Amino acid sequence: TLLDQQGIAVRTGHHCTQPLMERFGVTGTTRASFACFNTMEEVDAMVAATKKAVKMLR
């Protein structure tokens, strides 16, 4: 994926919320998980990679 190519690991799919997603007409989502072990540099890298992916897909 575009994020994986930049070293960002995320999960995609329904995340155990398929009925709610169907209710709102959402076919899938992307989830990034953070913990106390993440650095601000890692968060900044994820944000930058996400912005780049969105720009490429629009």
Catalytic residues, which ones? 16
Radius of gyration of the chain (CA): 13
- Cα–Cα distance measured from residue 48 to residue 18, given in angstroms and rounded to the nearest whole number: 28
E strand map for the chain: 11-13, 29-31
